[in-house]
Amino acid sequence: MSGRPLTILFAPESAYGPTNNCVGIGDVLRRRGHRVVFAAEASWKGKLAPLGFEEDLVDLAPPPQRPQEAGQFWKDFVRDTAPEFQRPTIEQLGTWVTGDAP
């Protein structure tokens, strides 16, 4: 591989876990002189640039009625499904796995 800087694009799922994984890898690449760009869902605006990355924001859905915090979908999902996952796994087979969970 040549010693010239590369442009690396990350397009993580719009949640903190996947994005933070890419931030860690991207930081190493950036410190080695590469250009790191995040194609991120629009709710991440202003969160990645302060870390030294370029933000190329993407609107994956129509704008929400009110602004939503990055990762809010997953916070809501965990809150709403937590009771289901507190049940024994064998019981979840009859609801969650079959798609009959609330």
Q: What pLDDT was estimated at residue 20?
A: 95
One-letter identity of residue 17 = G
3-class SS at 35? strand
pLDDT at 36 over 80: yes
Please identify which residue in the block is written with the tokens 């950036």. Answer: 30
pLDDT at 100 over 90: no
pLDDT at 60 over 90: no
For the chain, the structural domain boundaries read 7-70, 72-102
Q: What is the mean pLDDT of the chain?
A: 87
CA of 102: how far to CAs of 85, 87, 97, in Å?
Answer: 12, 13, 12
φ and ψ at residue 77, rounded to 5 degrees? -60, -50
Q: What pLDDT was estimated at residue 1?
A: 54
Q: How far apart are CA 27 and CA 90, in angstroms?
A: 42
Between 38 and 70, the more confident residue is 38
Q: What pLDDT was estimated at residue 5?
A: 95
CB-based contact 73:43 (threshold 8 Å): no
